Structure 1
């Protein structure tokens, strides 16, 4: 017997009420991890979670900025951009923690990730979601670990090379070791909070993409307009729920990251500013962290919006294939032609240019012909369904603003214009 591969969803025969066993989610909800980030199940755990948050997000960054400002140090150990770094990370992690606390208190992790709805979808979607969950954990680690290692190298170098200039208490080695560990823990905690929310958003979008790809298969088999409409309404409602949950986070993150980057650009381009790897290295690492998290959110939103809107093109192609096939079989008449139940479309497109890579085609909006069952759905019902898709575009919105590829182009154009304006105001040639 072949060994079965472990997946996220494991059907249990012993617990009929608990249909699924989520190993990674169980780990996140375990006593070892849950109280660190999102456990708000009782007042004691909530108080402990908030206490840790204030220590690592507010207390340690503020204390380190005051104590280790090191204005008397040499040029390599001064920290002229430390305030921007600490404020940027702390504000973004505060926003992330508030959102996580709200999500955990209202929904719980399983319901928030729509794991309770997996029993209503196909096995293919469940297996795909299992893979996406494991990939999301790897993505989270792939961002956090390199940033943590880079910051560790910087802080260890800073404390070791400047040990005689950096303030200490009683014992220089013990004081600097404890301070370095606490500062690294603070950095790790804040970046983990921020990336966790971004990856959770990507994960919820991944499930809906899988549902959309599975939903597109209804056009390749006999189906009823009513069932197609109900399924699309359910997906559209889920996308609206995701938009409402994350819209404040996405908008706030976009504003905060923009302000942080322009403040960084302003202070580094200022005349007489001391910019080198030792003074601005942590600022650059902070910028990479924040921009990467924002990129994950915007890319995930644009991807699922594009997938959702591709359904309109797919439905129009399906309607066109059925209509053309009906007229080819019966001919032009005054009334809408009705075909026999045994008829089925059998068309072939012209050969596609060999220079076109197959990977460039979208899975939902491709050049493949859809097999049509003309007898199943009449022309009027197909036309009504296509009209519905055209006038009810689904996707991720932020307060009514659709996050699609055009929106990303607009955001990029605005950011580039502001950057060039700021550079024009700060840089002068003599």
Structure 2
């Protein structure tokens, strides 16, 4: 066997250094991707290039094409309805919100500080492999959501060109490429910002999983409280950095959906896939980003709230374990023993020993009980001005949105019915 076929195992320090190197390379690639989309606005030049590109590709291109379509006597490719402009405005607004919020945080904290992968206590050395895995999973999730939406958009524009072609094929192909590129650019910015929030929450799940293992192994309550305070502090900083972003995204998506719903239900012509397909594709892309944000926030909130359950389980196991059994056996022995002089001396000694052990046991029990009560009253999670983003809040949002949709449908269908001859 040749010497080249034998692989020398890496030492622990070498393996740690290799994992840190992999994490550094992964973060560099992730930062390059954000820079290409314009999130890196750390200098005046990058700030200008980012916003000029956004205004040209995301605003000027689609508005110019819509203006061209408005004059159908000169050139007409689509039967444009009123909600086409609403779609452009909603996509541009979401992309602008993403650029504003994420570029500010990246400029202030950097990629490592923004993702919370530069923490103390040896977290980088311990969790480098998990960090790389979570980043890779988030990128795969982004591709999984983006590619179907992009395929639907390309298919929609292709069908429009085939069935509504009234000009040269070169012009039609140019408009197809311009619309698709503009749409993809805006949605990549918006969905990438949702991906970043989703990634930040997923990276915190690593820390909470490690904290659960700490609760099962650590007997010092003060150490557990200090670590929990650090985790709650990190979640508080995440909530503070993303609360404006989440509120603006929710407001823009909701308002654009209702504006498009008004337009679709009030137009006089028949809504088909040709003239209304862009509404469906755009709605899917916007709702996907909102689902990514809400899912990530609810997941980390429930993970933080589940810590109290783990602590309660450890407290129950410690309280009902060998200590109780030993105390019961010791008390039974005292009761069943005789009353001879030697036994009384032994009884006095054992009672003194039992009292000391019982005090220690009660002290440990009370500390664990206080820790459980502390966790139950300080659950943590992603909050929006005091509102914890969990399943209860998501159910409330769902029923509010459903009520608004039914209200809009009721108003528009009634008005449409009354306007009929």
Q: TM-score range by the shorter chain?
A: 0.7 to 0.9
Larger mean Cα displacement after TM superposition, 289-298 or 152-161: 152-161
Say whether the 8 Å CA contact 1:239–1:394 is kept in structure 2.
yes
Residue 200 (1) aligns with residue 196 (2): yes
2:241 to 233, 245, 250: 245
In structure 2, relative to structure 1, the CA distance for the partners of 1:118 and 1:205 (3 Å cut) is: farther
Aligned match of 2:327: 330
In structure 2, relative to structure 1, the CA distance for the partners of 1:29 and 1:200 (3 Å cut) is: closer
2:295 to 296, 299, 314: 299
1:427 to 404, 410, 413: 413
Aligned match of 1:152: 154
Aligned match of 2:110: 108
Aligned match of 2:393: 407
Say whether the 8 Å CA contact 1:225–1:381 is kept in structure 2.
yes
Q: CA deviation at 1:227?
A: 1.0
Say whether the 8 Å CA contact 1:10–1:22 is kept in structure 2.
no
Say whether the 8 Å CA contact 2:194–2:293 is kept in structure 1.
yes
- Secondary structure of 1:22's aligned partner: helix
Say whether the 8 Å CA contact 1:57–1:94 is kept in structure 2.
no
Structure 1-normalised TM-score?
0.80
Aligned match of 2:58: 57
Q: CA deviation at 1:127?
A: 2.3
Q: CA deviation at 1:226?
A: 1.3
Larger mean Cα displacement after TM superposition, 268-277 or 196-205: 268-277
Q: CA deviation at 1:149?
A: 2.1
Larger Rg: 2
In structure 2, relative to structure 1, the CA distance for the partners of 1:323 and 1:278 (3 Å cut) is: same
1:390 to 366, 376, 381: 376
Aligned match of 2:123: 121
1:194-242, CA deviations, whole angstroms, 9 ceiling, x for partnerless residues?
1111111111101111111110112322431111111111110110111
1:393-424, CA deviations, whole angstroms, 9 ceiling, x for partnerless residues?
20000111110111111111111111122222
Write the distance in 1 (CA, Å) between the matches of 2:47 and 2:399: 42
1:86-101 to 2 correspondences below 5 Å: 86-101=88-103
Shift >4 Å, 4+ stretches: 1-5, 18-21, 70-76, 336-340, 374-377
- Secondary structure of 1:164's aligned partner: coil
Aligned match of 2:222: 226
Residue 79 (1) aligns with residue 75 (2): no
Say whether the 8 Å CA contact 2:301–2:381 is kept in structure 1.
yes
1:246-265 to 2 correspondences below 5 Å: 246-265=242-261
In structure 2, relative to structure 1, the CA distance for the partners of 1:227 and 1:164 (3 Å cut) is: same
Gaps of 5+ in 1: 166-171, 341-373
Say whether the 8 Å CA contact 1:129–1:206 is kept in structure 2.
no
Write the distance in 2 (CA, Å) between the matches of 1:37 and 1:122: 27
Structure 2-normalised TM-score?
0.81
Q: CA RMSD in A?
A: 3.3
Write the distance in 2 (CA, Å) between the matches of 1:3 and 1:72: 75
Write the distance in 1 (CA, Å) between the matches of 2:311 and 2:398: 31
- Secondary structure of 1:226's aligned partner: helix
Aligned match of 1:138: 140
Q: Report how many residues are paired.
A: 383
Write the distance in 2 (CA, Å) between the matches of 1:164 and 1:19: 56
In structure 2, relative to structure 1, the CA distance for the partners of 1:33 and 1:264 (3 Å cut) is: closer
Q: CA deviation at 1:22?
A: 2.6
Say whether the 8 Å CA contact 1:222–1:376 is kept in structure 2.
no
Say whether the 8 Å CA contact 2:62–2:88 is kept in structure 1.
yes
Residue 67 (1) aligns with residue 68 (2): yes
Gaps of 5+ in 2: 1-5, 332-353
Q: CA deviation at 1:74?
A: 12
Write the distance in 2 (CA, Å) between the matches of 1:131 and 1:158: 41
